């Protein structure tokens, strides 16, 4: 009986391909190109144009970098597969939100087919400048973060005894990571037309990673929080 077990050690190697890698980043500005440039070529022009192809380099194990950085051929820093998209909502004074729901994924993130969301805003882009597609949530490519950026309460009001100061203003927000739905309950807020800082604002942070995230969002309910503290909570 003869048993053979092979565990070869891989070595660095290069692979050639006839087509070049597509770059979505403008080589001058370093920003995402809004559209693919159209290049007209005269087929009868002497010499013509040809695709030089590309060489891919395979690193079998760790890539150790000393004092340098990963850069593009033009010397600019190479963009990694992580990008962040910030959206700030300035809430109007005239509207009272009572368990209102907004589909952040559909209206502010995903490409509806023309580079814009269903609400008409520019679609969010990954680090390679491609827009977010409908299957991004299924592929685990999106994470949402919500925070209250500023609160400007409206204290000018009346009650059954006449004029009084409002002291029971409410603000609450919840973000569903699996669907991209944000729920909002809020009343008695104010909005200054003159000063930007005197406006109630909610900031939505969208974290984009095309290869997907390893960690999943963890929500700890209120009845379990007390057990996490070192000392007793009363």
pLDDT, position 67: 92
Query: In 65-197, which ranges are continuous DSSP H helix?
Result: 104
Is position 43 within any domain? no
pLDDT given at position 163: 58
With respect to residue 69, please indicate whether it lies within any of the assigned structural domains.
Answer: no
Condensed to tens digits (0 to 9), the pLDDT of residues 217-232 reads 898 888 888 888 876 5
Mean pLDDT of 86-94: 84
Which strand (E) or helix (H) includes residue 91? none
Using a pLDDT cut of 70, give the percent of the chain over it.
78
Residue whose C-alpha is closest to residue 176's, from 145, 213, 130: 145
Q: Where are the alpha helices (DSSP H) in the chain?
A: 104, 222-225
CB 169 within 8 A of CB 154: yes
The pLDDT score that the predictor gives to residue 17 is 87
pLDDT digits (tens, 9 = 90+) for 54-73: 899 999 999 999 999 888 87
Average pLDDT in the chain: 82
> What whole-number distance in Å separates Cα of residue 146 and Cα of residue 160?
36
| 202 burial level (CB within 10 Å; 0-12, 13-18, 19+) | buried
| 91 inside domain | yes
Looking at the structure of the chain, the number of domains it has is: 1
Percentage helix, strand, coil, to 5, in the chain? 5, 30, 60
Residue 41, pLDDT score: 58
**Residue 53 Ramachandran class (φ > 0 left, ψ -120 to 50 alpha, else beta):** left
* Mean of pLDDT values over 102-112: 95
Cβ partners under 8 Å of residue 197, min gap 6:
150
**32 pLDDT more than 70:** yes
Q: What radius of gyration, in Å, describes the C-alpha atoms of the chain?
A: 26
* Segment 160-215, tens digit of pLDDT: 555 555 556 678 889 999 999 999 888 777 777 787 777 888 899 999 999 999 99
Would 197 be classed as within a structural domain?
yes
Greater confidence (127 vs 20) lies with: 127
| Alpha-carbon gap, residue 234 to 229, rounded angstroms | 11
Distance between CA atoms of 150 and 148, rounded to whole angstroms? 6
Q: Please tell me the distance from the alpha carbon of residue 41 to that of residue 53, in angstroms, as a whole number.
A: 18
Does residue 110 belong to any structural domain of this protein?
yes
Q: How far is the C-alpha of 207 from the C-alpha of 86, rounded, in Å?
A: 9
Beta carbons within 8 Å of 58's beta carbon, 6+ residues apart: 10, 12, 13, 14, 15
> Would 27 be classed as within a structural domain?
no
Q: Note down the domain range covering 179.
A: 83-208
Question: CA 12, 16, 22, 27 torsion: positive or negative?
Answer: positive
What is the pLDDT confidence band of residue 26, given thresholds at 50, 70 and 90?
Answer: low
Q: Is residue 77 part of a domain?
A: no
Q: How does pLDDT run across 135-149, given as a tens digit for each residue?
A: 999 999 999 999 888
**Is 66 inside any structural domain?**
no
Residue environment code for 16-34, b if the CB has 16+ CB neighbours within 10 A, otherwise e: eeeeeeeeebeeeeeebee
Binning pLDDT at 50, 70 and 90, where does residue 110 land?
A: very high
């Amino acid at each position: 009986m003869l048993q053979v077990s092979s565990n070869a050690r891989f070595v660095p190697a290069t692979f050639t391909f006839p087509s070049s890698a597509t770059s979505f980043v403008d080589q001058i500005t370093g920003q995402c190109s809004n559209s693919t440039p159209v290049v007209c070529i005269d087929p009868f022009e002497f010499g013509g144009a040809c695709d030089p192809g590309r060489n891919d380099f395979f690193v079998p194990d760790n890539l150790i970098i000393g004092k340098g950085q990963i850069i593009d051929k033009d010397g600019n820093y190479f963009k990694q597969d992580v990008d962040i998209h910030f959206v700030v909502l300035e809430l109007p004074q005239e509207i009272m939100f009572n368990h209102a729901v907004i589909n952040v994924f559909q209206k502010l993130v995903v490409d509806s087919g023309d580079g814009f969301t269903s609400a008409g805003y520019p679609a969010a882009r990954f680090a390679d400048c491609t827009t977010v597609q409908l299957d991004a949530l299924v592929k685990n490519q999106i994470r949402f973060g919500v925070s209250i950026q500023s609160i400007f309460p409206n204290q000018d009001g009346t009650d059954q005894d006449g004029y009084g100061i409002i002291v029971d203003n409410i603000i609450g927000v919840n973000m569903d990571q699996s669907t991209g739905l944000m729920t909002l309950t809020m009343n008695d807020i104010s909005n200054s037309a003159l000063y930007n800082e005197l406006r109630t604002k909610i900031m939505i942070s969208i974290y984009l990673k095309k290869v997907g995230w390893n960690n999943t969002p963890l929500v700890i309910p209120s009845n379990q929080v007390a057990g996490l503290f070192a000392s007793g909570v009363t």
